[in-house]
Amino acid sequence: MRVIISGASGRMGTMLVRTVAQAKDATLVGATEREGSSAVGQDVGLLAGIPALDIQVCDSLAACDEADVLIDFTAPEACLNHAKVVAEKSMAMVIGTTGFDANQQAELDAILKHTPTVVAANYSVGVNLALNLIQQAAAVLNTDYDAEIYEAHHKHKVDAPSGTALAMGKALAAGRDVNFDDVAVYSREGITGAREVGTIGFSVVRGGNIVGDHKAMFIADEERIEINHFASDRMVFAKGAVRAASWLIDKPAGRYDMQDVLGLK
């Protein structure tokens, strides 16, 4: 499996470089960064803190060698541009980028409609097991249990709530067979009034170097059930993304997620 990594000098990018370099079934053949980045032209292995790989970072996906799959953890606009090249070159794509608005998401889906694609807010195996458990719990714990999603991340994260928190909310809504957008509550300030039955509340923390904490709470008058996940190293996300890329190689065109990769559906 020949892999290109976009955003290769970022926090996740360097983790992905290390993971692909160590993988038995994957070969890194390209790496990209935004135009004007100081990483362009540098050896991607050295940027990732490992021995040189003789692969220089490019400022364009089109300039990279031919590959089977692109792994993209960048930003929505950059990801959309990369998706166009992926579709033109008949590659597969693993997307960990979050923060798309509705129009961007629709554009991405249209671009990649003939492309094998895995899209996930979180590539941790543990998180995806948690999503499965949340949906099961929500099917049993009805609206007598108030539902809350808590998440905390490092101070550099630019979107909120996190993609994983939203995925937890959507799993919860699916378990209760309700429309997520109808029940999500993202902010509370001032005199908000009593909590509305059936809503899913979100709370967000940003600070320090927190890798990722997530919690789904089902709260009744008599008891509280919590499903938690705490990430201590970003390597867990990189390993999951490379696992997804390997799984995707022989799959037909379509949009998949980590629940598909892990056989949880």
**Residue 129 Cα to chain centre, angstroms:** 14
The pair of structure tokens assigned to 207 is 């600070």
CB proximity list for 142: less than 8 A, separation 6 or greater = 176
Q: Just list the catalytic residues.
A: 153, 157
Distances from the Cα of 91 to the Cαs of 22, 29, 31, 68, 105, in angstroms?
A: 22, 13, 15, 5, 19
Q: CA 58 to CA 35: how far, in whole Å?
A: 8
Q: Which of 77, 37, 74 is nearest to 57 (CA)?
A: 37
